[in-house]
Amino acid sequence: MDHLEPEVLPARHCCPSLGMQALEAGIMRFSVPPSISRSSAMVNEPRGNGSPNPRLEGSSSGMESPKDSSRCTSPGLDPERHERLREKMRRRMESGDKWFSLEFFPPRTAQGAVNLISRFDQMGAGGPLFIDVTWHPAGDPGSDKETSSMAIASAAVNYCGLETVLHLTCCRQSQEEITGHLHKAKQLGLKNILALRGDPVGDQWEEEEGCFRYATDLVKLIRSEFGDYFDICVAGYPKGHPDAESFEDDLKHLKGKVSAGADFIITQLFFEADTFFHFVKACSAIGITCPILPGIFPIQGYHSLRQLVKLSKLEVPQKIRDVIEPIKDNDAAICNYGIDQAVSLCQELLASGLVPGLHFYTLNRRMATTEVLKRLGMWAEDPRGHSSSPAFGELKDYYLFYLTSKAPREELLKMWGEELTSEESVFEVFVHYLSGEPNQSGCTVTCLPWNDEPLAAETSLMKEELLRVNRQGILTINSQPNINGKPSSDPVVGWGPSGGYVFQKAYLEFFTSRETVGALLQVLKKYEQRVNYHIVDVKGENITNAPELQPNAVTWGIFPGREIIQPTVVDPVSFMFWKDEAFALWVKQWGKLYDEESPSRMIIQYIHDNYFLVNLVDNEFPLDNCLWQVVEDTFELLNRPGARADRLRDPAP
C-alpha cells in the first residue's frame, strides 16, 4: 500500500451529479462529480494516495543555515536549477549535517488549500530540506483545481519557495496519462518525483491492460522520457511490502527501482529503531547504496493510530499499546506520549550514524512534528520571515486560492446574519441558501462556509426535503439522491461518456445537536442493516456502525467498452480527518465575523463545541430513499413528551 491519507472530497452542498466535474476535468476516473458537494468523508478511491505512509521531518543537532534551507528569499523559483535535491543531500551527508523533510496531502476545499499554503509557510520557516505532496487519484490530482496535488505542489515551489517532491502513482493510469502529468510537472517547475505504484481498487491487485504494474516501470519511464531532469525518490518498506511474497522478494523489487534510476528512498512508518537498522543492513547487503530516509510518524491520537496501522498492515509494539490503552480517551495525553516516543526514536536513529535525515508524516498538522524537531535541536526558525510578511507581500495577492469566502465581510454579514439571536437564526441561513429566497435583510444567501459555489441541478430532486430538515436543525452541507441506472445523458444526474448508466446511493451529511443525535441513534437501530452512519463531534468522539476502515461506494458508472468507472466512496478514515476542517469552518469563516464577546459569536462557538457532524448512506439504492424517513422518525421521537430530556444526557446508543 502506498499511503494512508485517503483523498477526501471538499464539503460543498449538493453540487451537480458526481460526474459532471469529471467531464469538466476531462479525466473521468480521477474526478469527483460535484453532485455530492464534496464532503470530507467522500473519496473517489478507497485509500488512494500515493506514498509509503505518513512521514516526518528532521535535521540534526545543528541549526541549518539559510542557504541550506529549501526556502527562497522571494516567492517563485529561479528557472535555472542551481543545485539539485540529490546534490543538496550529498553535500549535507558529506558535512555530517542532518536534515529533515515534511509530507503533506492535498486538502478537500479551497479554504483548506489556503490553510495548507499557510502551513507550508509556517513549517517552511523551520528549514526543511524539502517537502513532498501526495498524489490523490480521487481528487483529480493532475488538474488545475486548487485542491489538486499538482496545484498544491506548484504553489509550494512557486509561491512558498520550497524544494518540493510530487508523488505520482502509476496504478490505473496509461503511459500517455503519466507522461502528460510529468510534462505538466516540468512546466510548473517541479523537479522531483516520488514514484509509486498506488493502491489497488479492491483488496487484491489486478493487472490492467495498458497500465504499469510496478513503480519500477514508472521509474524507467521517467528516465527514458525525461532523462536526468527529475530527481526520483521511491518507497521502502522496513518490514516488507504487505503484498510481497517475502521480505527478501520485496528487497529485490526495491533494488530494481534503484537500479532503474531512483536517487533516494523514503521508508514507510515504523515504531522501533531496530526495524530500520535491520532494513538498512539488508539493503546494503544487496547493493543498495543510495540515501535511505526513515519515515517518522508522531502518534497524535488513538483512533488515527489504529486506522493508520491497519491500512498499512503494521503492528504496534506491545510496549506502545500498553502505554496508550489506559489513556486512549485522552487525546492530549496520547499526543504528549507520541511526541516523547518520536523524539526517543529519532535520537536513537540519529545516534546510529546510519540516518542522513528524517522524513516526517505530518498529517497536515503542525504541533507534534514541530515540537519533536525543536526537542531534537533541528528546528531552525528562518530569520527571513514568512511569505505573509510585508517583504513577501500578501499571500492573497497571488490569487491562487481563496483565502476566505469570495464575498467580503459586509456581504457575508448580510447573508449569514448581522446579529444572531439563537441557534434557529443559524437554521434560517441554511434554509435561505437552499431556497434561494431573500432573507430578512433582503439579501440572497449564495454561499455557506462549506460551499462557495451554486447548488447543483440535482438538489432540485430533494429540495423540499432539504428545506424541511434544515428548518428543524439538520444543517446539511452535502447530499445526493439515490439513482438506479439513469442514462449518462440525463440532464440532471447524468455524467460520463454517452451510452452509459449511472448509479448513486442516497447520501446525507449534516451538523446537528447532541439532543438530535441521541434520538437519531435510537431510530437508526431499526435501519441497522440498511443505513451506514458516521457521527463525530469536534473532540473526535466517533460513533459508527460501518465495518471498520471499509470504504462504502456511493457513486459509480457503467459505460460501453469500459470497466466500471472508479466509484466515489464514503471513507471512515477520511471522515475523521475531515471533521477537523469541517468544524473549524464554523469559527474561522462564520464566527470571526462577529465581535469576540458578542451573542452572535457565542452562538456559533456553541454550535462548534456541541454539535455533531453526521453522514448517512442508504445502501439500498434500487429502493426509495429511506434517509428522509430516518430523519422524520428522529423528529417524531424528539417531540414525544419527555423524550427531549432523556436525549440530552448522552448520544451513545
Active site (catalytic) residues: 103
Residue 589: what are its φ and ψ, rounded to 5°? -100, -40
- 396's CB contacts (< 8 A; 6+ apart) are 403
CA–CA dist 197, 244 (Å, integer) = 13
> Quick check: 334 and 328 in contact, CB under 8 A?
yes
> Quick check: 349 and 56 in contact, CB under 8 A?
no
Q: What cell does 21 get?
A: 466535474
Burial-class residue 214 by CB neighbours within 10 Å (0-12, 13-18, 19+). middle
Question: What are the Cα distances from residue 639, in Å, to 191, 422, 424, 644, 645?
Answer: 61, 20, 17, 7, 11
Residue 629: what are its φ and ψ, rounded to 5°? -70, -35
- 597's CB contacts (< 8 A; 6+ apart) are none
Phi/psi class of residue 613: alpha, beta or left (left: φ > 0; alpha: ψ in -120 to 50)? beta
CA–CA dist 381, 276 (Å, integer) = 29
CA–CA dist 336, 342 (Å, integer) = 10
- Of the candidates 236, 270, 233, which has an alpha carbon nearest to the alpha carbon of residue 253? 236
Nearest 5°: the CA angle 44, 45, 46 is: 130
Helix, strand counts (H, E) of the chain: 20, 19
- 299's CB contacts (< 8 A; 6+ apart) are 305, 320, 324, 334, 335, 337, 338, 341, 342
Q: Which residue has the cell 526495524?
A: 275
> Quick check: 416 and 445 in contact, CB under 8 A?
yes
Question: Looking at the DSSP assignment, which residues form a beta bridge with residue 178?
Answer: none
CA–CA dist 73, 313 (Å, integer) = 42
- 169's CB contacts (< 8 A; 6+ apart) are 2, 48, 50, 135, 137, 196, 197, 198, 199, 218
Question: How many Cβ atoms are within 10 Å of 593's Cβ, its own excluded?
Answer: 20
CA–CA dist 610, 329 (Å, integer) = 18
Burial-class residue 440 by CB neighbours within 10 Å (0-12, 13-18, 19+). exposed
CA–CA dist 7, 109 (Å, integer) = 11
Question: Looking at the DSSP assignment, which residues form a beta bridge with residue 418?
Answer: none
- 578's CB contacts (< 8 A; 6+ apart) are 8, 11, 39, 40, 41, 108
> Quick check: 543 and 652 in contact, CB under 8 A?
yes
CA–CA dist 633, 526 (Å, integer) = 10
> Quick check: 52 and 268 in contact, CB under 8 A?
yes
- Strands 292-296 and 357-361 turn out to be parallel
